[in-house]
Structure 1
Amino acid sequence: MTDAPSYGFDTLQIHAGARPDPATGARQTPIYQTTSYVFRDADHAAALFNLQEVGFIYSRLTNPTVAVLQERLATLEGGVGAVCCSSGHAAQIMALFPLMAPGCNVVASTRLYGGTVTQFSQTIKRFGWSAKFVDTDDLDAVRDAIDENTRAVFCESIANPGGYVTDIRAMADVADAAGVPLIVDNTTATPYLCNPIAQGATLVVHSTTKYLTGNGTVTGGVVIDSGNFDWSASDKFPSLSAPEPAYHGLKFHETFGSLAFTFHGIAIGLRDLGMTMNPQAAHYTLMGIETLSLRMQRHCENAMKVASWLEQDERVDYVTYAGLPSSPYYERAQACYPKGTGGLFTFAVKGGYEACIKLVDALEIFSHVANLGDTRSLIIHSASTTHRQLTPEQQEAAGAGPNVVRISIGIEDADDLIADLDQALTKACG
């Protein structure tokens, strides 16, 4: 496509990055199920390996099907480039990898998916990295947590599981003042509801497994680069600003400019970490993105209807959906997320832990799975599953207390979903 930024979202979600296959004329992007690619000659191969020419070498690094997905996601998010990988968790490591070194830390929101909290609080210690968790509604706490060893600030646009909405612009201002990038996980909102880069984010990550694919078939992740950060402004990011020994002293930022982070993600990150997205997964995700805006509209409409019903039910203590006027995040949501606040939220069941377990087991339409963002409606009791590894204090901070269930509202008939919740609540609460 030419002049792609002039097109609307609905057009870009179908066409960005895709062109008819030059060999066959196939209109849908083919699945290039190949490990390697034939070089034109020895000079061509050398130029590719020296990063002097862009092309395909080996599918751990680049693949034509995955490349289309990368271009589409970068376009939809307003970035300059993207690197797809094997999962959302892989994307988080890929985002941090060029920034961090032993002794460095990331300042992270307390309102994160439980698996992310575990990855940041436990796993990254093995790299010599650490995380400081703060309430990102308290901007002074975020500022105070940033020190000379901080290399990034990390948050979710709409938090999983509670559906809390983040003031990304305010977070970006804090990160900018400290000279560090803001990384925003935009999985729950998707680029249809939220554009973190337009609000000041440096990097955007997704679990493409969720709303982007939308059909529960494949896992994947992506890191999208805004191209706006000056990696050479300080000595904090030598992987991007200093000579790279593996490429004969090449300096990524000096050589590739706004695409430095993207090139590093492929040439170093995928080369050495190997967190590769397979081409079939990319194909499923490309097909899912073609209907993203339509699905997100329905997710939001259904979620609002179900959340409003739950809020009035006497068997429910509270509902966290930010689209409700009663939510403390309502005004922020209206200002920052005018198209809606997604399909994910939690509600607390009177009767506590045991009632939640009974509720989950009694539902018929809702699927009890560890996933979100599907066309199907999903439910999980986070405290006993996705957030089980956290302390009770961490669970409460993340909005995943023992009396809380998380629901991901699908695109079914909303009245059917309400009826299913009604009968299950009756069984759960006696």
Structure 2
Amino acid sequence: MTATAQPIYDWDGFDFDTRQVHAGEYPDKNHGLRVPPIALSAGYLFEDFDDQVSRFDGSIHWRAEDDGPRGEGEAFSPSEHAPIYSRQGNPSNWVAEERLASLEGGTVSVAVSSGQAAISSALFALAQQGDHIVSTASVYGGTRILFGRSFKRFGIEFDYVWDAEDDAEWERAIRPNTKAIYTETVPNPCNDITDLRRIAAVAARYNLPLVVDNTVGTPALIRPFEHGANIVVHSATKFLTGHGAAVGGAIVDGGNFDWEAAERAGRSFPLITRSSRPGVASMLDRFGAGAYARAARESVVNDIGPTLSPLHGFLMHQGMETLSLRMERHVASSIRIAAWLEQQPEVLSVDYAGLPSSSFHALAARDYGLDADGYGRTGSVFGVTVRGGIDGARAFVNGLRLFSRMTGIGDTRSMVLHPHTSTHSTFAPEINERLGITPGLLRLSVGIESAEDLIRDLRGALDRVAAAV
């Protein structure tokens, strides 16, 4: 009798579309469940006294049930982890973590409670009181508030580089106590995409890890590790879950930063390269290419506690199953709408890097690729500036019926927000002016509805603008 072929659980070498459906899943040995279940448990049983000891001292972090310790390079599944408490890890969240690490091309991912928690935890693993971080200037408004308010209270300072092409500006910004460079693939709200290769070269020159927020880009459109990034963060609330039903975040370790070389160059990362207690080796010595992620999980996420709900972890890995399909619709509709808006008399400008008229079009072609008509595929969150300043913006927003007036991006539903009076309302006028956050700017997040229906809705809103101004 011919033996039954065994299911695959090691997804190395498989295409993106296959990995987004399967990576991270594991066999259910109790009931044969095809979909990984929601593990609603705060804690986990220890087999015996020594099992408890080994889990807490870090000598094991997964269990091999039948064949002893895993060999070098052998795969293990989330069911073989040996957890302590769901604050550090949970089987539902492990599926999402392994899936995202696979899609981004990283080594290990750490799921957390929100995108802000991902940014905070990622940077707290690198910097402490008295340290300094450099960021590109055009990042999400909530991120700038986080840096300027909470990080400042914790004694970590930030400087911003406005022209990432200017070596002299980087030279002025980077200090001996700088611990990271931070940027976004597709900044929100103006779609002014960053040259990751250029910034990665700067980071490497100064022995600094490059941390990249890929929320708007998503690994379906761009994978920052392929362009030289070292750490990727996500607000999984957006495109990864995709339906606006869950809040979550994630940190992905690229496993490609030389922590020892950075130490030799005078940049200290004690959570990663130094022993936390006598008799225990450093994270780097114990976990190699996954050392940063392990440090973030144990020394930041565990201590501060931004735990992802198992229900939201389940929704995250469920959402990723259709990521590439949704992004195709998001992008195709966004290109069509951006090109249409650019031709309307009530519109002053459209900030979409994929448009041939954009100064970012060549970069969009290089890093995101072009569609059949020569438009760059730079996501579905972009800005449109209407005539009439804030009066025009008010008329536009109040005239929309299909677009949802709400905070958020990356949903299946299309959304609109006025940044000047929301995400950027606390910024100094000169900062908003440099960022392009004008009274007439609206942020659109294009969903997966019919593009024709969305254009009709936008046309009705622009008719209101024409009447108002």
State the Cα deviation string for residues 322-364 of structure 1 (Å, max 9, x = none). Answer: 1110000001000011161111100111000121022112100
CA contact (8 A) 1:213 1:287 kept: yes
- Partner residue of 2:93? 66
Q: Quickly say closer, same or farther: Cα 1:122–1:138, change in 2 above 3 A.
A: farther
Give the TM-score normalised by the residue count of structure 1: 0.97
Matches within 5 A, 1:224-373: 224-233=252-261, 234=263, 235-245=267-277, 249-338=280-369, 340-373=377-410
Give the partner amino acid of 2:202.
V
Instruction: Give the C-alpha shift of residue 395 in structure 1.
Output: 2.0
| Distance of 1:87 and 1:219 partners within structure 2 | 6
Q: Quickly say closer, same or farther: Cα 1:25–1:397, change in 2 above 3 A.
A: farther
CA contact (8 A) 2:165 2:198 kept: no
- Partner residue of 1:170? 198
| Distance of 1:227 and 1:197 partners within structure 2 | 9
- Partner residue of 1:151? 179
| Distance of 1:136 and 1:99 partners within structure 2 | 24
Give the partner amino acid of 2:231.
L
Instruction: Give the C-alpha shift of residue 21 in structure 1.
Output: 1.6
| Distance of 1:251 and 1:290 partners within structure 2 | 36
For the residue of structure 1 that corresponds to 2:142, the secondary structure is helix
| Distance of 1:22 and 1:124 partners within structure 2 | 45
- Partner residue of 2:230? 202
The answer on 1:48 being equivalent to 2:55 is yes
- Structure 1's unaligned 5+ residue stretches are none
| Distance of 2:464 and 2:279 partners within structure 1 | 67
For the residue of structure 1 that corresponds to 2:233, the secondary structure is strand
Instruction: Give the C-alpha shift of residue 399 in structure 1.
Output: 3.2
| Distance of 2:311 and 2:320 partners within structure 1 | 14
| Distance of 2:400 and 2:155 partners within structure 1 | 44
CA contact (8 A) 1:162 1:321 kept: yes
The answer on 1:189 being equivalent to 2:196 is no
Instruction: Give the C-alpha shift of residue 244 in structure 1.
Output: 0.8
Instruction: Give the C-alpha shift of residue 232 in structure 1.
Output: 2.3
| Distance of 2:435 and 2:314 partners within structure 1 | 33
CA contact (8 A) 1:355 1:428 kept: yes
The answer on 1:29 being equivalent to 2:36 is yes
For the residue of structure 2 that corresponds to 1:5, the secondary structure is coil
Instruction: Give the C-alpha shift of residue 210 in structure 1.
Output: 0.4
- Structure 2's unaligned 5+ residue stretches are 1-7, 62-81, 371-376
State which drifts further: 332-341 or 150-159: 332-341
For the residue of structure 2 that corresponds to 1:266, the secondary structure is helix
CA contact (8 A) 2:389 2:438 kept: no
**Root-mean-square deviation (Å):** 1.3
Give the partner amino acid of 1:303.
S
> Percent of aligned pairs with the same residue?
40
For the residue of structure 2 that corresponds to 1:348, the secondary structure is strand
Between the two proteins, the alignment pairs up a number of residues equal to 429
State the Cα deviation string for residues 89-132 of structure 1 (Å, max 9, x = none). Answer: 00011111121021111101111110001111221011110110
For the residue of structure 2 that corresponds to 1:68, the secondary structure is helix
Compare CA radii of gyration and give the structure with the larger one.
Answer: 2
Give the partner amino acid of 1:176.
A
- List structure 1 runs of 4+ shifted beyond 3 angstroms: 247-250
State the Cα deviation string for residues 136-174 of structure 1 (Å, max 9, x = none). Answer: 533412243111011000000011110111111111010
| Distance of 1:99 and 1:243 partners within structure 2 | 15
CA contact (8 A) 1:316 1:349 kept: yes
CA contact (8 A) 1:244 1:251 kept: yes
Instruction: Give the C-alpha shift of residue 405 in structure 1.
Output: 0.3
| Distance of 2:450 and 2:156 partners within structure 1 | 46
CA contact (8 A) 1:79 1:225 kept: yes
CA contact (8 A) 1:110 1:397 kept: no
Instruction: Give the C-alpha shift of residue 3 in structure 1.
Output: 4.8
CA contact (8 A) 1:113 1:398 kept: no
| Distance of 1:123 and 1:270 partners within structure 2 | 17
